[in-house]
Structure 1
Amino acid sequence: MQQTGRGRRRRFRAFTTVALAAALALGVSSCSDGQEEVRAYGAPGWPTYGGPGGGNANATPVTVPDGIELAWRRPTGGPITAPISLNQYGDVGITAKTATGCNTFLFAHTGGRKNFCKRMVEGTQFNAMTFDQHGQPYLGEAGMLLSFNGGGAIRWRMPLIGSSLSAKFAGPGRVLSVTTQGQILLLDAQRGEFEAPEVRLRPKAPEGEPTFGLGDCLTGGPQCAVTAPPAVDEKRERFYLNFRADGAAASKLTAMSYAEKAGEREITGVWEATPPGGMAGPATLSADGETVYAFGRDGKLYAYDAGDGELRWSHDLGGFGFATLSVSADGLLIPAGSVGAPLTVLEDEGTKVRVVAERDDLQTVSLSTLAGGDTAWTVVRTGREQRLVLTEVSTVDGATKRSFDLPDATGFATGVAISAAGDVAVATNLGEIYYFSTESEE
């Protein structure tokens, strides 16, 4: 039977994606002891909250190819608050707050077919899935962290104190879980067993009330110990938290280690710093692991030395907005402002920050993603109807390069995820997923 051009493209893209995944696995195994690396690690593409790696950088070296178009769109049936994650094939993992039916979904990258869906408990809607190289998701809810296989069957469960925040990998074979009530667990990704003794940053946190303080996590209130997922540095074996101690007036940027001591892993504090007014949002780590960024509630962005917490510089943003940040490998920064804020590209010069480009005419409604080819992808709103548009801009001068309508979309987006093959996925807060690819839905 004659194969169509579209069929040849689909087979080629599938081969390319699998080849990329295999190449990454080979690269990891080549750094090991000569045995094939079978321990779990982050999948190629956009496997967790904050994109590739564990630093919450929202950046990828992948360049989105020419010729992408809207391939499919799917509703979830409820509002979306957590970012999209993508497994090694580009399949979409998403959670939503739905009144009935499923609130956890995995959609196929080709056509948006529902691979599986589940009903999980309160708190899931604040979690992004975390995918390992085998396409196995790790996902939390109030009182529980779960590991699934690629088909959605449960592999293991771990009870929690508080509600889970998005899990992160902390080196091959290890999963780090931090809860809203300050419980920290380092677990074996395969078996769900402890890799280090647990730590409770709030020892008096109620054990039988997993949703306690969950509302305060949205505002940074006193009943929420940790409001956002950690930024993880696997090389240094550290992670960085927005943590508010019980009874404290404000939250602090807190550096912690999970390195071995006397042959056993131990979770310990390293240093802490307090941005004026307290910290907002998650910590973000530079690509070289030398700088950690934090938003202060005074409206400034702060850069700290990741080694000792010494302040390097601060930059007045006029507000902390969504308190999230995108950081490229070469030190470009794009803070996510409030809904309708201009797009601003900054550069970290070590002891100060420089404004590279500003687009006052763009009303951004999304965290941006820095990508290959000196570009950034974001969502903006435009026109009298305030419709949403996926937009690619140059990080050299801020000029618009490409734009794609998100049909019927209003409100704001939770971010932009880019797959290993260069597909682009966007979720709106009103519950719709849009997937752009060089293949159209048949």
Structure 2
Amino acid sequence: MKSERTGSLSRFLQQGLLMAGLLLAECKTSEPAGSEILDSAYGPGWSAVHADSRNSDYSSLQGPRKVELAWQRKFEGTINLGPTIGRQGQVYMTTNAGDCHLYALDPQTGKTVWCTDKVNKFAVASSALLDEQGRLFIADNEAMHAFDALGNLLWETEIQGFPLSAQFTQTGRLIFTTHIGMIYVLDRKNGSLVLNPHPLSGEPPSDPNFDPRACMRGTADCPCANTLAIDQQTGRFFFTYWAPGAVQAGVRAMVYSEKNGPSIKPLWEHTALPGGSASSPDISADGSRIYVNDNAGGLHAIEAATGNSIWEFAMGYEPGGSQSTSPEGLIMPAGGGGAPLMCIQDMGQEAKLVWKNDSLNHLGLPMQTAGNLAFATVAGSPNKSYKDLVIVNTKTGEVLDRVHFPGKTLFTVGTTIGGEGNVYVPGFDGTLFAFRPK
């Protein structure tokens, strides 16, 4: 059955819910003043779009050194992001065509366990966020939704714009930005507002239209085009934003706290992303710095406490998505154009190219795992319409395994690993591939 929400987004925009310039909003919770209860809300494994709250695209699991194709499945429409993995290994993914837009798949066969039409096609812009109880949180352009592990709708809360995936605060709240520049903090148990929504421009945006190309490149027509990263120790969160009238995009830092009642406070702005934001920001393992890509081929390291630039590395191409960052500071950028597969090391005050393989034309979003392994999609044979999955040693660039994707596929949009060691790689054309350890 189709969702029967009666309020339209246009009516919601006219409700006058917001107050211009609001930073400290009315508390909606019963938390005692002066306290902050830390709540590690994330489910085990790959529970967020980029693995964790830091957007690391890294797994502490030991990845397989050899794989073979387990199954593949073609969906109607497109897939925009990699799947997330539930406690029991179920694979959760979104697509924009057909009646269902959120699927739970059996990890061994790829068959549908359940699917729901309670989210619309705009849910394709997000991956489901999973908490430790197995609940799923995902939005479309009308509401944020919560489901239980069986696919039952628990609650939905109307929003303005749509998020590109959500995260949990250090206190276990649901936090996200929508593409038009609105920050929301919700109680994940019932969807109630913890704070009144915060418009980054000072007032609710008047035009919530969605421009797919702008959101893929993080340009001015899609001000918040990526997933925020949040430090679970400090409550600092970081997101890309192209402010109205600005000449280029940047990174903003704010802090969420409940020590004296729920609040959001701005920390700094770093406005140095020419051409727009090419990736979500990710936080180093020690929380000291932020990594982000621009659309002019630059990888930036920014000081998390101050927003000061630490270094910029010229990659020589525009990446097609977010990078993967290991706890040791090894960075694997996303592919794009004719880019070679490469690995960059954060050396502290500068970045160094560890290795680059010009024979591997990188055409996807990479993942790193424990054991110094990286998984990436490269051009196959006879042309770029065919792809191979490669497993490489991140320290040396040695290719440990190379497996062909059956048939033709487009740029791959994520790489995810399950608890059993399966590696999942979706193509933008709607095909999801699963590789098992060999």
Contact 1:252–1:278 (8 Å) recurs in 2? no
State how far apart, in whole Å, the 2-side matches of 1:350 and 1:167 are. Answer: 30
Unpaired runs of at least 5, structure 1: 1-36
Match of residue 326 from structure 2: 328
2:123 corresponds in structure 1 to 124
* 1:137 alignment partner in structure 2: 136
Letter of the aligned partner of 2:402 in structure 1?
Answer: S
- What is the aligned-residue RMSD (CA, Å)? 2.1
Percent identity over the alignment is 27
Task: Please name the residue that 1:423 is paired with.
Answer: 422
Counterpart residue number, 1:290: 288
**Cα distance, 1:215–1:64 mapped onto 2, change above 3 Å:** closer
Distance 2:331 2:38 in 1: 34
Give the aligned partner of residue 147 of structure 1. Answer: 146
Alignment partner of 2:124: what SS? helix
CA contact (8 A) 1:275 1:302 kept: no
Q: What is the distance in 2 between the residues matched to 1:270 and 1:130?
A: 26
How far off is 1:195 after superposition? 2.8
Q: Is the Cα contact below 8 Å between 1:425 and 1:436 reproduced in 2?
A: yes
8 A contact 1:170–1:237 mirrored in 2 = yes
Distance verdict in 2 for CA 1:102–1:340, change over 3 Å: farther
* Secondary structure of the structure 1 residue equivalent to 2:58: coil
**Contact residue 78 and residue 431 of structure 1 kept, 8 A:** yes
Corresponding residue SS for 2:306: coil
Supply the distance in 2 between the matched residues of 1:91 and 1:124 (Cα, whole angstroms). Answer: 18
Tell whether the 8 Å contact from 1:144 to 1:164 is kept in structure 2 after alignment.
Answer: no
Q: Displacement of 1:427 after TM fit? A: 0.6
C-alpha distance after superposition, 1:62-88 (max 9, x if no partner): 112366432221111121112221112
1:67–1:214: structure 2 CA closer, same or farther, 3 Å change rule?
A: closer
From 330, 339, 342, the equivalent of 1:341 is 339
Structure 1 segment 308-323 matched on structure 2, within 5 A: 308-323=306-321
> Could you tell me how far apart the structure 1 residues matched to 2:296 and 2:138 are?
33
**TM-score of the superposed pair, with normalisation by structure 1:** 0.85
> Aligned partners of 1:66, 1:393: CA distance in 2, in Å?
8
Task: Summarize the alignment of residues 35-184 of structure 1 with structure 2, pairs less than 5 Å apart.
Answer: 41-51=41-51, 53-65=52-64, 68-98=67-97, 100-119=98-117, 120-184=119-183
Matches within 5 A, 1:239-278: 239-260=237-258, 263-277=260-274
Aligned partner of 2:375 in structure 1 is 377
Mapping for residues 394-433 of structure 1, pairs under 5 Å:
394-433=393-432
Instruction: Judge conservation of contact 2:310–2:350 (CA < 8 Å) in 1.
Output: yes
Q: Does 1:188 align with 2:187?
A: yes
* Unaligned runs of at least 5 residues, structure 2: 1-36
SS of residue in 1 equivalent to 2:161: strand
Distance in 1 (CA, whole Å) between partners of 2:330 and 2:65 is: 23
User: What is the deviation of 1:323?
Assistant: 4.2
How far, CA to CA, are the matches of 1:273 and 1:240 in structure 2? 11
Q: Is the 8 A contact 1:40 1:174 kept in 2?
A: no
Q: TM-score, normalised by structure 2?
A: 0.86
User: How far did 1:173 drift?
Assistant: 2.5
Change (3 A) 1:414 1:92: same
Displacement, 1:215?
5.2
Q: 1:405 offset after TM fit, Å?
A: 1.9
Tell me which residue corresponds to 1:228: 226
SS at match of 2:215: helix
